[in-house]
Amino acid sequence: MLRRYVHITPMTIDKFINERSADVLEELCAFLRIPSISTSPDHNDDCRAAARWVADHLKSVGCERVELLANDTHPVVWAEGPTVPGKPTILVYGHYDVQPPDPLELWDSPPFEPTVRDGNLFARGATDDKGQVFAIVKAFEAVMGTGRPPVNVRFLVEGQEESGGEVLTELLQRDPERVAADAVLVADMPYYAPGWPAIYTALRGMCYCDITVRTLEGDLHSGLYGGVAPNAHETLVGILAGLKSSNGRIRIPGLYDMVQRPPKVERDAWKRLPFNERRYMKTEVGAKALTGLTQYPPLERTWALPTLEIHGISGGFTAPGAKTVIPAVAGAKVSLRLVPNQKAKKVETLLRRRVKELAPSYAHVSVDFIHGADPVLADVTAPPFDRIRQAFREVEGREAVPIRSGGSIPIVPALGVKKAPVILTGIGLPDDRLHAPNEKISLEQFWKGVRVFGRFFQLMGE
């Protein structure tokens, strides 16, 4: 194709948006139609298709050395923009995999049939993370125009972020040079609030486990044996209850030893953010009370303290009607969110020890580690942070706020091993409903994203 070699004045970002918005939206919809759910093996072909779609698209916007790496079911996409000697290198990280869409009946339009309503594009993956990574790809295309990009850009787009997959971690252990860059840009997070862009200073980590309890060789009649036979559910529930006290403190010895309270200046800055606890409780959380360690403010509880959640309990009889049985086996999925200084492997050991301590001697109890992620604490003072802050200032007219997030992105620690500053940001909104029915991206935010990331590339090249 000729177009890459003809040197015409590059289109400005706004001109690109004005001229190409309909095509760009159509392209994003094509990406969103692929049900690349990485947590379910039934969708392995779709994940492969999404990886190929990303690779082909990156080629079509002028990337070279486009490769699918590491794995045939969930390949990692690697691509490099044209080499621009003497200019910095930006590594863009994103993920093409999505969470399962269920419960399907709660979607107003099907999750893999992207639909625009009231200025929002609804689809699974719209904000997490297809829409956001696509905004960066379009920003790259816009600043490249028909000439050269202002900086060296590399793309690393994985397909196992949502399943905690270790493929990319292993790939980067073998080949750490992939993350050698002047900055890493990760757009997989929301603004603090509409009009309030955010630069994240920390992410929580995670330790996800299955707990299984067996108390009998087989299920028993509750009439004949009720009164003597140990019940697996009762035993499991006892163990779970022993993991947290009613005031919200997690009862795993040693868990809080590594927790460092954020510095006072940081906590004071959080107090200046617009936050209305009542409205947050009623409209965002949708509850009648906020629980947990209520002696700490809600933002500190979700951003800077560990949590323990029970995600689901299985076993026994749950079908309609009644069955009088003493269950022999019961299971629970639990996870802990971790905060800076904690380590997933260490917390796994502490959890195992505590579960063992709580288990009665008649029960066989096992803890299986499913996946983990170490927390992240980001120093946001390196020069590239000034560039992204300037881009937000120009586009949004407000300074990006330094905040933390309760969410996790397992690969982030590995993105920083070559000492590149990792910029954790995004253009989502807090009500995007990621992982839930009716996930969406605001189209206004999407176009702002193209402008912000395009300006970031330009400023990095100056």
Residue 410 is a binding residue for ligand BES (CB under 6 A): yes
Q: Which residue has the tokens 């719209």?
A: 126
> Closer to ligand BES at the Cβ: 207 or 326?
207
Smallest distance from Mn ion to CB 136, Å: 13
Is the N-terminal amide bond of 103 cis, ω within 30° of 0?
yes
Per-position x/- string for 270-299, each x denoting binding to ligand BES as judged by CB under 6 A, each - no binding: ------------------------------
| Binding partner selected for residue 219 from ligand BES, Mn ion, none, CB under the kind-specific 5 to 8 Å limit | none
Residue 97 is a binding residue for ligand BES (CB under 6 A): no
Cβ–Cβ under 8 Å, residues 188 and 432: no
Residues 415-454 that bind ligand BES (CB under 6 A): none
Nearest to residue 179, comparing CAs of 187, 192, 169? 169
- Judged by CB under 6 A, the stretch of 11-19, 161-169, 360-368, 438-446 that binds ligand BES is 161-169
Cβ–Cβ under 8 Å, residues 114 and 175: no
Instruction: Give the 3-state secondary structure of residue 223.
Output: helix
Among 188, 219, 374, 439, binds ligand BES (CB under 6 A): 188
User: Alpha-carbon distance 435 to 121, whole Å?
Assistant: 15
User: Alpha-carbon distance 307 to 447, whole Å?
Assistant: 35
**Residue facing ligand BES at closest CB distance:** 407
Among 162, 219, 374, 439, binds ligand BES (CB under 6 A): 162
Per-position x/- string for 114-143, each x denoting binding to ligand BES as judged by CB under 6 A, each - no binding: --------------xx--------------
Among 120, 342, 408, 438, binds ligand BES (CB under 6 A): 408
| Binding partner selected for residue 91 from Mn ion, ligand BES, none, CB under the kind-specific 5 to 8 Å limit | none
Q: Which residue has the tokens 């109890």?
A: 365
Smallest distance from ligand BES to CB 314, Å: 19
Nearest to residue 425, comparing CAs of 158, 200, 139, 161? 200
Alpha carbon 426 to chain centroid distance?
Answer: 11
Residue 373 is a binding residue for ligand BES (CB under 6 A): yes
Smallest distance from ligand BES to CB 23, Å: 27
Among 183, 206, 329, 332, binds ligand BES (CB under 6 A): 206
Residues 24-53 that bind ligand BES (CB under 6 A): none
User: Alpha-carbon distance 25 to 255, whole Å?
Assistant: 46
Where does this chain bind Mn ion (CB under 5 A)? 128-129, 188
DSSP string covering 359-373: S-TT-EEEEEEEEEE
Classify strands 307-315 and 329-338 as parallel, antiparallel or unpaired.
antiparallel
Structure tokens at 99: 């969470």
Nearest to residue 233, comparing CAs of 315, 295, 291? 315
Cβ–Cβ under 8 Å, residues 412 and 186: yes
Among 189, 236, 412, 423, binds ligand BES (CB under 6 A): 189
User: Alpha-carbon distance 220 to 279, whole Å?
Assistant: 49
- Judged by CB under 6 A, the stretch of 145-153, 159-167, 269-277, 324-332 that binds ligand BES is 159-167
Residue 375 is a binding residue for ligand BES (CB under 6 A): no
Which segments within 215-271 are labelled E, that is strand?
220-221
> Closer to Mn ion at the Cβ: 93 or 392?
93
Q: What does DSSP assign to residue 314?
A: E
- Judged by CB under 6 A, the stretch of 157-165, 167-175, 299-307, 440-448 that binds ligand BES is 157-165
Residues that bind ligand BES (CB under 6 A): 128-129, 161-162, 164, 188-189, 203, 206, 371, 373, 405, 407-410
